[in-house]
Structure 1
Amino acid sequence: MKRSAAFLSLLLVAGVAHADDGLSLGLGVDYSSGDYGSDTTTKIFSVPVSAKYATGDWTFKASLPWVRVDGDANVVPGLGNLVNLNPKGRGRGNSGGGGGGTTAPTSGTTSGIGDLRLAATYAIPLQGRWGVDLTGNVKIATADEDKGLGTGENDYGAAVDVYRSVGAATTLFGGVGYTVLGESDFIEVDSVYNANLGVSHKLGNSSIGAMYDYRQPTSEAADDRSEVTGFYSFPTSDTGKLQLYATKGLSDGSPDWGAGVNFTAGF
């Protein structure tokens, strides 16, 4: 049983059956907008490219997005509103200089490659209606910190996801995770716990569902992330699948709203 929501590859729920062995590739489009507790609305547009390889009880995933951010220089994709002291940050004119003092919030627009995310998941062999996944993940800091597209440091995390089939078409799922966030010379962050809970229901070959996601604040300046997501996926061919989703933020640590689409094809 596999799910990739916590991996942030935009495959919010990749079904709730064991993944077929082999390689699959994905391409998505994601857009979100919110003020994250600031006076400025920040808009984030990303195009993630992903790859997944499944063999036996193991699944390996990689995702790399192109990202465009328009908004507050203190808002970092995936982390929310932080205190970013980088003098070359988004909207600060690449002025150079050190990291001392407090940098006034400014706005700007930047784009580029985001952070590379890698994950390995082991599905514990179980009988019956239960399923358990153990995942280790790492974020490789490939995003440009001077553009405010990332922190410039690596992150490391682990997660446990649990599934329970209810009847022939419904699956309940939930999970908890912990991430050690890397600090840079300009951004201080805290390691965080996260949790999610949701339900998926099959409609023939399609599926529909909803998920709630929570994460602790990433720093003293940030708010916790709290949001709900609805999704719908359907096959486009014997090996292809299209997924649509929409997200509503419930706290300043989340965007006000977001939406996206993701296509995957197996080989």
Structure 2
Amino acid sequence: MALRPTLIAALLALGGVCTAHAEPALTVGNTLSFFQGKFGTNNNINIRYDATDIQYGDGNDWRVKLTVPYVSESGLPVGSTLSGNTVVGGGSSTQTHSASGLGDVWLAGHYKIFQGVGLTPSITPYAKIKFGTASSDNGLGTGKNDYELGVGLQQIIGNNWFPFANLGYRFVGNPTGQNLRNIAVYQLGASYAASQQNIFTLMYAAQQALVAGAPAPSDLIAAWNYNLTPNGSGFQVYVDKGLSHSSANFGVGIGGQIVF
């Protein structure tokens, strides 16, 4: 499944690559997304994702972010569950159901330990917690917490190019009756600042399969951020193309953020 709560939240930060704050600032954003595809099942599944992000930090060296989503889905096979980037269990069922409600809440912290110099990238370790707040009875989540540790690498080429990579390992909460694996996750891409206002990003995102033998989700994402103010307030749009049978066929989203 290409629904990527932490990835969608990260898109809000892409407009800040050229607008880091000298002093800590509060950022509030919201992203509306829609995904459609089979997600490794025999059914067409529609997922609408409304994520509110609250972030505090200087936009460069450190930041803490809380993501609170509302999820609405239709076509999910009975017995299936949304788990991070994957639909697990019940994939062969011909019966489907619809559900909506609070999704899994994410809390993430990033802290830069090395400022890149020359060809050496900046190094920013991170830690994330997914709280199992989504209803397991309705198939919106596993009801279990996930924990992720990783590192973000970012390079600056000239004044316009910002290649980056995020590499992490997720410890997955395993609900009763499932055999979910811990997984590696990663995103590779680059942002291009055409101007202080216009920033374009192309990113490849993938992870290991949660279930042994299942296809691993992978996606290609293109995003455009437009900064309305010098401190990074603005909006963004993105498109997502699934590259795996476990991913969505396509996804689209639009969001905005205000930096106080």
Letter in 1 for 2:241: K
Question: Identical aligned pairs, as a percentage?
Answer: 25
Q: Deviations over 1:68-94 (max 9, x none)?
A: 011123251533231159xxxxxxxxx
Letter in 2 for 1:70: S
Note closer, same or farther for the CA distance 1:68–1:116 as it changes in structure 2 (3 Å cut).
Answer: same
- What is the deviation of 1:188? 2.7
Distance 2:47 2:213 in 1: 20
Q: Which residue of 2 aligns with 1:89?
A: none
Asked if structure 2 preserves the Cα contact closer than 8 Å seen for 1:202 and 1:208, the reply is: yes
Is 1:76 matched up with 2:69?
Answer: no
Distance 1:170 1:18 in 2: 14
Is 1:219 matched up with 2:222?
Answer: no
Is 1:228 matched up with 2:228?
Answer: no
Q: Deviations over 1:25-57 (max 9, x none)?
A: 011101000112322101100111110000583
TM-score (norm 2): 0.87
1:255 to 244, 248, 256: 248
Q: Which has the larger radius of gyration?
A: 1
Is 1:187 matched up with 2:178?
Answer: yes
Asked if structure 2 preserves the Cα contact closer than 8 Å seen for 1:199 and 1:210, the reply is: yes
TM-score (norm 1): 0.85
Is 1:146 matched up with 2:140?
Answer: no
Q: Which stretches of structure 1, 4 residues or longer, exceed 6 Å deviation after superposition?
A: none
Q: Deviations over 1:150-201 (max 9, x none)?
A: 0000000011111111111011111211001101114331100012211110
Distance 2:124 2:87 in 1: 31
Distance 2:95 2:55 in 1: 38
Q: Which residue of 2 aligns with 1:47?
A: 50
Q: Which residue of 1 aligns with 2:152?
A: 161
Asked if structure 2 preserves the Cα contact closer than 8 Å seen for 1:83 and 1:188, the reply is: no
- 3-state SS of 1:8 partner: helix
Letter in 2 for 1:207: I
2:192 to 186, 201, 219: 201
Is 1:16 matched up with 2:5?
Answer: no
Distance 1:182 1:19 in 2: 35
The alignment of Structure 1 onto Structure 2 pairs a total of residues equal to: 246
Distance 2:203 2:69 in 1: 23
Asked if structure 2 preserves the Cα contact closer than 8 Å seen for 1:10 and 1:262, the reply is: no
Is 1:118 matched up with 2:118?
Answer: no
Distance 1:113 1:128 in 2: 42
- What is the deviation of 1:219? 1.0
- 3-state SS of 1:175 partner: strand
Is 1:28 matched up with 2:31?
Answer: yes
Q: Which residue of 2 aligns with 1:177?
A: 168
Unaligned runs of 5+ in 2: none
Note closer, same or farther for the CA distance 1:84–1:18 as it changes in structure 2 (3 Å cut).
Answer: farther
Distance 1:133 1:18 in 2: 17
Q: Which residue of 1 aligns with 2:126?
A: 135
Distance 1:208 1:32 in 2: 21
Out of 142-151 and 193-202, give the one that drifted further: 193-202
Distance 1:196 1:79 in 2: 13
- What is the deviation of 1:64? 0.7
Letter in 1 for 2:87: N
Distance 1:72 1:6 in 2: 18
Out of 70-79 and 198-207, give the one that drifted further: 70-79
